Amino acid sequence: METLLVITIFLPLVGAAMMWPFAALGRMYVRWAALAVTLVTLVLTCVLVQNFPADGSDAGQFAVVSDTWVQTAAFDIEFSVGLDGLGLWLFAISAVLMVTSVLVSWRAITSRAALFYAMLLLLEFGCLGVFSARDIILFYVFFEFTLIPLFFLIGIWGSSERRYAAVKFFLFTLAGSLLTFLGLLAIVIWHAGHTGEVTFSIPRLTESLSELALRGDGMSQSLQMWIFVALMAGFAVKVPLFPFHTWLPLAHTEAPTAGSVFLAGILLKIGTYGFLRFNVPMLPDATIYFTPWILGVSAVGIIYGALVALAQSDMKRLIAYSSVSHLGFCMVGVFALNHLGVQGGTLQMVNHGISTGALFALIGMLYERYHTREIRKLGGVARRTPVLALFMLLFALSSIGLPGTNGFAGEFLLLIGMFQRAFFDLPEMWSGGNMRVLFWTVSIAALFGVVMGAWYMLWLVQRIFFGPLREPEDDKHHEVVRDLSLREVMALVPLAVLVIWIGVWPKFFLDRMQPTLNQSTHAVQMRLSSPVTLDSQLSTLDPPPSTRSD
């Protein structure tokens, strides 16, 4: 498995390099080669998933490869990859969505195709790396590396405002992630100074830091808070949390279809993934301190994203704002900080990748037919393209969270988690009057967000696909509008299968991620749920934790 994982990660990189010789042969060869590479990557990923322990036990040990990368007296950075319950499904979805991305670009990309597919494959390489990296520096390298291919994808093949969108996307993300970088370094260096063990390994740091925190020998709360804020700077932009979301609609609207699919499907998840990978397990006290704030901002994001989505006249912008809203759900789930919420939030990351990725692909297909993204220029399109309409309805329903689709499984879990936290299990520190109201408001806002999601999504489908037939009148398109070709159906089928699969049998997915998630929230849960036992455990230690955490 170890070798297989490394091959899977590096295959897209090799594929990207292969685009160079293929470029001379012509566009046809280039895209078939790219498709072949992504398909092989997908098959290898399936083998990995199939071999992953079904109950998620020992998940931290699956397919771990470690090798020295940079070693000096001061550093010991390893090239260390492996899959665990948190990374597994995002890793797998990256491989699936890349096939979709290649297929939807089949006819849309006419200029510089070799460079385009090379950039897509580099992007896949980066994402597979991010979700499997077990070394902090390696994670960061992949994390930042994903910016370069997407920058070119948006800037070269985007629509009219593409230059501005590409630069804005890059700078927003970079500005945040540089602070994240400082935060990550601070964790490593603090740990090295405190314990004398210089390690960049994520599992090792997680284990050691939560152990220290539970022993009452961890970072001081103020230090944790500073580092938390630094880490959050990058992840919040990536998610995007409410006030930092302005780059997202622009980047989505200007990007080529494949870019939007992958940006929405995978890259946004790196933010939530980062929160779960670093903030929550490594900085438990700061997590508890900031949870009400983050929940509040996420709730604002849910409602704001939904309201703005309602007001959009551009289909792609509508889906982009719906992403802001949906990622708010993921954040609410994660920061409910109980088992159900975190599981729901993580599952919802995967779900959002599938359904929003598919929605962007569908809108790209509509755009190829009508050369417009204006909602009011279209109507009753279901008569022309019934299959497209069918898929649209399916993914819209999955995005809303209809029972039986994947969205339901995720949203239901995370909402239960949030309600449990707010109404039944509110820890003492948050049970003051205002805090209680905040938690209630957040859970009700999230519920309300689901309703609004149904509203804008169904309204979109109704306006475009049903009612009297209306098509753009400009002369641009003379040819008869055809329904989906086999290629386009093939791009959507894997996603549709996943929608139903996760909807009907979420246990398959949850079982594999559960142990890892429980582990990563362990320290926080200990702090939250049983302060009494914690005190009794620590009563012999000096100084007492109560003074420390203040």
Partner 1 sequence: MFVELDTIRWLWPEIVLVILASWIYVGHTFRQDRLAWTIVAAAAYVVAGFALFWQVWTSGPEFWIAFQAGQGFSSGPLSIDFLGTGIRWLAVAMGLLFTLVGSQLTSRESAGEFFATLMLLVVGIMLVASADELVLLFVGLELISIPTYVLLVLGRRGRANAEASAKYFFLSIFSSAILLYGLSFLYGVTGTTNLSQVELPRIAAASAGGMSHLLPSAIAMVLILSGLGFKIAAVPFHFYAPDVYQGTTNANAGLLAVAPKIGGIVALVRLTFVLAPHLAEFAWQMTIVLCVLSMTIGNICALWQTNVRRLMAYSSIAHAGYMLIGLAAGLAAPESGGVAATLLYLLVYVLASLGTFAALAYLGSEESEVGELDELAGLGRRQPAAAGAIAVCMFSLAGIPPLAGFWGKLSLFAGAITVWNEPLERGGSLWFIVLAVAGAINAAIAAAYYLRVVSVMFFRAPTSEVPAKGGIGAWSAMAACCVLVLLIGFLPGQFVRFADIAGKAAIRKKTGAEWISTAEPQKQRHVLQARAERIPADSP
Q: Establish if 3 lies at the interface with partner 1 (CB under 8 A).
A: no
The correct pick among 166, 388, 397, 496 for binding partner 1 (CB under 8 A) is 166
Q: Spell out the residues 6+ positions from residue 81 whose beta carbon is closer than 8 angstroms to its own.
A: 5, 6, 9, 63, 64, 65, 129, 132, 133, 134, 138
Q: Establish if 152 lies at the interface with partner 1 (CB under 8 A).
A: yes
DSSP string, 81-133: E---HHHHHHHHHHHHHHHHHHHHTTTT--SSHHHHHHHHHHHHHHHHHHHHB
Residue closest to 333 by CA, chosen among 373, 381, 385, 295: 295
The correct pick among 19, 86, 120, 147 for binding partner 1 (CB under 8 A) is 147
Q: Which is nearer to partner 1, 12 or 56 (CB)?
A: 12
The correct pick among 10, 29, 32, 145 for binding partner 1 (CB under 8 A) is 145
Q: Establish if 65 lies at the interface with partner 1 (CB under 8 A).
A: no
Q: How far is the CB of 152 from partner 1 (least distance, A)?
A: 7
Q: Which is nearer to partner 1, 151 or 335 (CB)?
A: 151
Q: How far apart are CA 373 and CA 320, in angstroms?
A: 13
DSSP string, 38-83: HHHHHHHHHHHHHHS-TT-TTGGGTT-EEEEEEE-SS-EEEEEE--
Q: Write the interaction track for partner 1 spanning residues 176-195; mark x where CB under 8 A is met and - where it is not.
A: --xx-xx--xx--xx--x--
Buried b (16+ CB within 10 A) or exposed e, 343-381: bbbbbbbbbbbbbbbbbbbbbbbbbbbbebbebebbbbb
With contacts defined by CB under 8 A, name the span among 49-57, 150-158, 267-275, 519-527 that binds partner 1: 150-158
Beta carbons of 281 and 522 less than 8 angstroms apart: yes
Q: Which is nearer to partner 1, 118 or 295 (CB)?
A: 118
With contacts defined by CB under 8 A, name the span among 29-37, 63-71, 358-366, 402-410 that binds partner 1: 63-71
Q: Establish if 72 lies at the interface with partner 1 (CB under 8 A).
A: yes
Q: Write the interaction track for partner 1 spanning residues 383-422; mark x where CB under 8 A is met and - where it is not.
A: ----------------------------------------
Beta carbons of 56 and 515 less than 8 angstroms apart: yes
Q: How far apart are CA 225 and CA 242, in angstroms?
A: 20
With contacts defined by CB under 8 A, name the span among 3-11, 45-53, 167-175, 397-405 that binds partner 1: 167-175
Q: Which is nearer to partner 1, 192 or 481 (CB)?
A: 192
With contacts defined by CB under 8 A, name the span among 148-156, 279-287, 352-360, 493-501 that binds partner 1: 148-156
Q: Establish if 367 lies at the interface with partner 1 (CB under 8 A).
A: no
Instruction: For residue 454, count other CB atoms closer than 10 A to its CB.
Output: 17
The correct pick among 7, 28, 175, 469 for binding partner 1 (CB under 8 A) is 175
Sign of CA dihedral 246, 248, 251, 257: negative
The correct pick among 71, 220, 431, 536 for binding partner 1 (CB under 8 A) is 71
Instruction: For residue 482, count other CB atoms closer than 10 A to its CB.
Output: 11
Beta carbons of 351 and 410 less than 8 angstroms apart: yes
Number of residues that bind partner 1 (CB under 8 A): 36
Q: How far is the CB of 13 from partner 1 (least distance, A)?
A: 11
Q: How far apart are CA 524 and CA 213, in angstroms?
A: 10
Residues found near partner 1 in the complex (CB under 8 A):
68-75, 137, 140-141, 144-145, 147-148, 151-152, 155-156, 162-163, 166-167, 170-171, 174-175, 178-179, 181-182, 185-186, 189-190, 193
